[in-house]
Chain A
Amino acid sequence: NAGVMQNPRHLVRRRGQEARLRCSPMKGHSHVYWYRQLPEEGLKFMVYLQKENIIDESGMPKERFSAEFPKEGPSILRIQQVVRGDSAAYFCASSPLTTGELFFGEGSRLTVL
């Protein structure tokens, strides 16, 4: 049973470009969460999605960031017009239930030059 799959594992972008990070949850999981981890810091909640619905986006920056979890395919975290401060590790987690254990992927490390 494959775990949470994230890709790309490493992404380099220049300032002003777009970054797209993908997350495929574990089989049978319909709840997806995105977290951001800055160097030497803990994980900060960004957004919680179920299929075709954003449940809680209270941790998402208001501009440039968006997330989706379509009926078919992976969840996508999209960052438009990236800036150096967006450089971080972005982790996706999934759970089978609203209050179930979160299983994390190995993260996507974004570097903005």
Chain B
Amino acid sequence: QQQVKQSPQSLIVQKGGISIINCAYENTAFDYFPWYQQFPGKGPALLIAIRPDVSEKKEGRFTISFNKSAKQFSLHIMDSQPGDSATYFCAARGQTGANNLFFGTGTRLTVIP
């Protein structure tokens, strides 16, 4: 079954707008929640990550909001730019002692000028 559920599947945003992608999980043993950015033909690259003891983390235009009680987390891209057009994956790390990631199904973001 899908351990991490991601929505929306695709997103179109005007340049300068805010892009919001949401993820939800069930396993309370997850202890690390990264977001990856993937351009066509390339491998995923880590964008930003958060641990469950923090409710928000901001790096430049990218912010993760984390709601531990609801088991949800989201990525906000402020002032979205055409160069942000890519597929974004949320992920969660498995049980303690393992480092394998469970990925969401991805969101294809298109930022139009």
Contact = CB atoms under 8 A, between A and B. Distances in A.
Contacts of B97: 98
B100 A42 contact: no
B: interface residue count bin: 20 to 34
A113 B6 CA distance: 32
A41 B106 contact: yes
27 contacts: A4-B43, A31-B99, A33-B99, A33-B101, A40-B106, A41-B105, A42-B4, A42-B103, A42-B104, A42-B105, A43-B44, A43-B101, A43-B103, A45-B100, A45-B101, A48-B99, A59-B100, A91-B43, A95-B99, A99-B32, A99-B93, A101-B49, A102-B46, A102-B99, A104-B43, A104-B45, A105-B43
Interface of A: 4, 31, 33, 35, 40-45, 48, 55-56, 59, 91, 95, 98-107
